[in-house]
């Protein structure tokens, strides 16, 4: 089980994280993350399970538009034209994380954990996920978690992210 995050996580999230990491270790598949609205929470979870954390290659916390461009090699005009919270940017984040790491699977998360900022016209609880594999396979999911608060969106995002990673590991 997780060590430092245990008090804050529902048991099913902890159990799935353990299962995903054990499967990644068994298959020797290295993981990376590119996170926006979760602020690195997925990376923290993937490094919190004793005996399995070595399978996590690196994480990118790209909360701002500029960070997405600088760290994940996304062109600024793409972020501006489709919005930082979109399928296109989630996919670009996952591909950029693979490109900028030595991982085999990258999972990206971008969304609105709380009410959108003054310059955004987004929907609270809207989150886009993308999971990219080095072999080129890519999946995307769009979730509408609603107005469940920042913690609610972040925990729900962890569940979806772990599910997508597990599916990629089983392909």
pLDDT at residue number 116: 73
The pTM score is 0.94
Predicted confidence at residue 106, as pLDDT, reads 98
Ordered mean pLDDT values, 10 residues apiece, the chain (171 residues): 70 93 97 97 92 94 95 95 95 98 98 80 93 95 96 96 98 88
State the DSSP string of the chain: --SSSGGGS-HHHHHHHHHHHHHHHHHT--EEEEESTTTTHHHHHHT-STTTGGGEEEEEE--SHHHHHHHH---HHHHHHH-SSSHHHHHHHHHHHHHTSS-SEEEEEEE-SSSPPTT----TTEEEEEEEETTS-EEEEEEE--S-HHHHHHHHHHHHHHHHHHHHHH-
């Amino acid at each position: 089980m997780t060590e430092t995050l245990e008090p804050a996580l529902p048991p099913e999230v902890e159990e799935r994280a353990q299962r995903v990491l054990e499967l990644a270790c068994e298959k020797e598949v290295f993981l990376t993350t590119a996170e926006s609205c979760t602020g690195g929470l997925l990376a923290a979870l993937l490094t919190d399970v004793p005996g399995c954390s070595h399978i996590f290659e690196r994480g990118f916390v790209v909360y701002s538009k500029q960070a997405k461009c600088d760290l994940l090699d996304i062109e600024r005009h793409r972020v501006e034209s489709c919005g930082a919270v979109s399928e296109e940017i989630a996919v670009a984040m996952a591909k950029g994380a693979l490109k900028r790491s030595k991982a085999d699977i990258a999972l990206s998360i971008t969304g609105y954990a709380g009410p959108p900022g003054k310059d955004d016209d987004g929907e609270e609880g809207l989150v886009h996920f993308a999971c990219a594999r080095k072999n080129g396979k890519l999946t995307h999911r769009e979730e509408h978690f609603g107005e469940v608060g920042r913690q609610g969106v972040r925990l729900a995002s962890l569940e979806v992210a772990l599910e997508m990673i597990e599916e990629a590991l089983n392909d």
